[in-house]
A and B are shown apart, each in its own frame.
Chain A
């Protein structure tokens, strides 16, 4: 699973971080770091909870095959 981060939409509510601080990393102002997030197997539930907590809809859950593949590749390297 991959989380697509719409960085420009983030307004620093930090609700994702409150759910899963290790998955959703914030900068010093409290906004999410740019860049999509590849979620490790086993972290999926937490990650989707965090994404669903975003009031701005800045975090999109990507469950397409490509996303699965990218996680798969990442887990092997």
Chain B
């Protein structure tokens, strides 16, 4: 991976050979544990500079402590989110909304969308989510004693819910999963191609809903008003694209990591199966142990942070997987304790950009685990197979072949 030279203002002793993309355990690894692999940074300083810590090889400061990540993420004025990470794949510069907007514009769009994803709203959606999980798992249980959790359950489940939000049927499910895959993991040809497809799809869907409104997310967006005016085409697109990008991959990855953990830890598996009331708390611990996202901010001014000379324009990385293994915040952070209390983990981020979909994501994970454990007997990783895990901007798991014969 090409890397930019370390900027002059970064003291050489603050540079570390660490990257969420290329360090040991970050590339696709059979039976890997990328989360444990990044925990090693806690042996070092609270902040250091990684010369190649984005997909396109840019350097970032890396904040290791939870407390400091909270400080960065809560201070949107100093640490901006405006990166156009998706649009830049196309050589363009428009924000995904609300993720890549800064206050005060951020707050306006956030207030618009919050009610659609509020805890109360998610309670209303719950029966549909559960029904979908049950249908998929029943089919798996009826067709044998083994499956690939990612392909047969995690992706169809989460993508179906996403499609429900968009008022679309399941028939294009495989296409969407393919786009998401290419976008997140594809090469320099596949990524822009996928990005273009997604933009065209969102634009087309918005046009359709303008013409013929139905009760779905895009209809809401095209009919919405901010500050007494309708959204511009670019704003509609930025909002739709974010829903696509954020909703497709992360929850599926979380379910994959969780079931992989339970497959390898039969005692915990049995406990949750016999006492399903514990699943809610356990899911929080699994979110702590296996979060999926790295947040990156751009410094809007020069600031000295814990001894590091951050300069305007520098990238600052707050990786949830690093925060969640901070021994100053979590007792025995590398031990997974499904009964852990006071678990204020960073899986959904901190500050104004706290994951908009967090309440829905939580319910999907809990319901997914509940229904899986209720319907599938004691399972393990199928002999002769190895789940492939990877690090990067979004951590994930490619395959998870379970066996309950």
Contact = CB atoms under 8 A, between A and B. Distances in A.
A54 interface: yes
Contacts of A56: 70, 74, 350-351, 354
Interface residues of A, number: 20
A14 B119 contact: yes
A9 B74 CA distance: 8
Given A11-B352, A14-B119, A55 B346 contact: yes
Nearest to A18: B119
Interface string B224-239: 0000000000000000
Contacts, number: 54
B120 A30 contact: yes
A12 B74 contact: no
B297 interface: no
Nearest to B354: A11
Contacts of B185: none
B344 interface: yes
Interface in B341-367: 341-346, 348, 350-352, 354, 358-359
A9 B351 CA distance: 8
B165 to A, nearest CB: 17
A7 interface: no
Nearest to B356: A12
A47 B14 CA distance: 43
Interface of B: 70, 74, 111, 114-115, 117-120, 341-346, 348, 350-352, 354, 358-359
Given A11-B351, A53-B344, A55-B348, 7 more contacts: A13-B348, A14-B119, A18-B119, A30-B117, A55-B70, A55-B350, A56-B74
